[in-house]
Structure 1
Amino acid sequence: MATPPNPFADFTRMMEQFRLPGVDMSAVIEARRKDIEALAEANRLAYEGMQAIVKKQQEIFAQTMQQLQAAAQQYGTASNPAEAMTRHSEFVQQQLHQALENMRALAETAQKAQAEALAVISQRAEQNVKEAGELLQPKTKSRG
């Protein structure tokens, strides 16, 4: 299988035609390449986080369906209405507690995914500030 062409190669050649005094176009292009890589990494982390949330939601749904089936079977075997109401109210209370726990877990998963993606972008932003400062430094000419 052939290696895909480097999408930055043509852009690099094009930008080098516009040689600006004191500006290292290769460094500028390399910085933009790193920006794109950071965005791709942040996107990957966000996508993985959303996949984890979907998986957790599927698990919650399956668990809830099993609990509902078990509860329906139990209520069918209750000998008197008072006992059935007691079981029903306990079941509802347990399900509300479980729903709150599930929402907390989903929120934590989403927050973790967002924090990881933001960390990648923040790190790249810090690198951009540093690189911009370096690019703007006057080049010293060596005396020979």
Structure 2
Amino acid sequence: MATSKKTAPKKTAAAAPKAAPRANPVQDIQEAMAKPFKGVTERLQALNIPGIAERFKEMNVQGAAGALLDNGRKDLKALVEANEKSYKGLQAVVARQTEMLKSSISDWQGAVQGMPGKDPKENLAKLDEMARASFKRALDDMKELADLAAKSQADAFNVVRERINDNVEQVSKLLKRGGK
């Protein structure tokens, strides 16, 4: 005798509610980084190891953890800013390339439309002159695009360089303070 099995309808990925995108991904990362540190100081002090509480007070563990988290937040912010500058620079380069290409195409179209009915020698001379001018303009355009790209990358690198300098300065201060 055959029995039929009733199965529950399968849930599809499309039926699952989608989570709303987070408003601030930097804050999400900061919270994820801070999560393991929450309560660590209290738990270590609760171990009641002789002298540990005094040592934590000397080291200012909570202040150090806060400084570490703040430093991480600043690093992430600097990376986001550097990426934004790099992306905007890339957009500017692409936009300028598009303008240059449109200009070149319209110049050639205008020249070719003006040629019919003229002397073939004159047409060849005009094409030769246009080719030379186009080649010179292409070289100038490449230089302009390279300068645009270099500037945007330099701006992005400066953001990261400043953050690295801040980190080195903070480490130097901590080392000086720890040696006293």
Query: Normalising by the residue count of structure 1, what TM-score does the alignment of the two structures yield?
Result: 0.85
Output one character per residue of 1:1-31: Cα deviation in whole Å (capped at 9) or x when no partner.
x976942235324214444942411001100
Deviates more, 1:15-24 or 1:90-99: 15-24
Deviations 1:30-73 (A, max 9, x none): 00100000000000000000000111011011101111111111
The 1-side partners of 2:135 and 2:152 are apart by 26
Tell me the percent identity.
30
Determine the structure 1 residue equivalent to 2:36.
14
Computed over aligned residues only, the root mean square deviation of the Cα atoms, in angstroms, reads: 2.5
Cross-structure match for 1:31 = 71
Partner of 2:103: 63
1:12 touches 1:29 (CA, 8 Å); kept in 2? Answer: yes
Is 1:75 the equivalent of 2:97?
no
Structure 1 84/3 Cα, relative in aligned 2: closer, same or farther at 3 Å?
closer
**Counterpart position of 2:86:** 46
**Cα deviation code 1:101-139 (max 9, x no counterpart):** 110110010000000000000000000001112233228
Instruction: Show the counterpart of 1:130.
Output: 169
Question: Are 1:92 and 2:131 matched, yes or no?
Answer: yes
Greater alpha carbon shift after TM alignment, 33-42 vs 7-16? 7-16
Q: Which has the higher contact order (CA 8 A, sep 6+)?
A: 1
- SS of residue matched to 2:114: helix
In 2, are the aligned partners of 1:60 and 1:102 still within 8 Å (CA)? yes
1:75 alignment partner, SS class:
coil
What residue identity is the alignment partner of 1:55?
A: A
Structure 1: segments with no counterpart, 5+ residues = none
The letter of the residue matching 2:67 is: A
More helix by share: 1
Greater mean alpha carbon deviation, residues 21-30 or residues 4-13: 4-13
Mark the runs of 5 or more structure 2 residues left unpaired by the alignment: 1-21, 45-55
Q: Within 2, Cα distance between the matches of 1:61 and 1:134?
A: 53
Q: How many residues align?
A: 139
Residues 10 and 95 of structure 1: CA distance in aligned 2, closer, same or farther (over 3 Å): closer
Distance of aligned partners of 1:74 and 1:51 in 2 relative to their CA distance in 1, 3 Å threshold: same
Q: State TM-score, norm by structure 2.
A: 0.69
**8 Å contact 1:46–1:117 — kept in the other structure?**
yes
Structure 1 outlier segments of 4+, above 3 Å: 2-6, 16-21
Which structure has the greater CA radius of gyration?
2
